[in-house]
Amino acid sequence: MEEQKSSMPLLGDAFPAMKVQTTHGPMTLPGDLAGGWFVLFSHPADFTPVCTTEFVAFQKRYDQFKELDCTLVGMSVDQVFSHIKWIEWIKSELDVEIEFPVVAANDSIAMKLGLLHPGKGSNTVRAVYIVDPAGAIRLIMYYPQEIGRNIDEVVRAVKVLQISDAKKVAMPAGWPDNELIKDHGIISPATDMATAAKRAQEYECFDWWFCHKSLD
């Protein structure tokens, strides 16, 4: 029998369609979340220290994601019974109630998302997929099992993707606290000489190829 290979989706790809069991009941992804943004994040295993810190951190920012019309979805290859018990433990021992669904994935689902790596056993790696209202994967973050993620960066990533789409600008490093242009957006570089000549009159510029504007 041919060995099943893990294939990581690429930016711009449609999020793979899948029917999953979650702590909130059955779901179809991305169909049930169509029309809004969602973040799917995988974790290696329930009842592990780094994953527990991440779940608490995601929940602490749950309202921030909600304000961005963005749904959180967790995932690992643990059974749903394990997810439920772990969530109960987080509530009873850490006084944090996990409000987002957690997918009980199988190897087939994990393979579709490139979450199983040779030499890492059956545990999923730490991946983050940010998916837009059309079901397209817009951003991917990949972390090794031993490194916890910065959840504030996930919130920022959703926010800058939405602003970039709405304002038709690129977003600088560290937005909204960029060292050069603070909270401005970056204008696409001119592609002809006439446009390049006008840029400095239309926007704030370091040069015609590096112009920016307020997003207010």
**The CATH number of the domain where 51 resides is what?**
3.40.30.10
d(C-alpha 200, C-alpha 212), whole Å: 10
- Contact residues for 182 (Cβ-Cβ < 8 A; gap 6+): 176
- Active-site position among 51, 70, 205, 211: 51
Same domain, 32 and 68: yes
Q: Is 160 domain-assigned?
A: no
For 33-60, b/e burial (b = at least 16 CB within 10 A) is: beeebbbbbbbbbbeeebbbebbebbbe
Q: How high is the pLDDT of residue 151?
A: 97
Q: What tokens does 74 get?
A: 């967790």
Do 175 and 140 lie in one domain? The reply is no
Same domain, 51 and 144: yes
Of 102, 118, 149, the last residue of a domain is 149
H-helix or E-strand containing 63?
helix 62-67
Q: Angle 80-94/49-60 helices, nearest 10 degrees?
A: 70
User: Can you give the pLDDT at residue 109?
Assistant: 84
- 197: domain CATH number? 3.30.1020.10
Please tell me the predicted confidence (pLDDT) of residue 4.
47
Q: Which residues pair with 205 in a beta bridge?
A: 211
Asked about 205 being catalytic, the answer comes back as: no
Last residue of a domain, one of 105, 120, 149: 149
**């038709």: which residue's tokens?**
168
pTM exceeds 0.75, yes or no: yes
125 in the same domain as 53: yes
Say yes or no: 142 and 187 in one domain.
no
How far CA 28 is from CA of 24, 35, 161, in Å, comes to 12, 14, 24
Does residue 204 share a domain with residue 121? no
Provide the domain limits for residue 211: 168-216
CA end-to-end span of the chain = 58
Q: For the chain, what is the radius of gyration of the CA atoms?
A: 20
Number of domains in the chain: 2
Q: Which of 94, 119, 149 is the last residue of a domain?
A: 149
Give CA 158 to chain center in angstroms: 7
With 0-12 CB in 10 A as exposed, 13-18 as middle and 19+ as buried, what is 117? middle
- Rounded Cα–Cα distance for residues 193 and 101 (Å): 52
> Mean pLDDT in runs of 10 for the chain (216 residues)?
60 95 96 97 94 97 98 94 97 98 88 72 79 97 91 98 97 97 96 94 96 96
**DSSP H/E element including 50:** helix 49-60
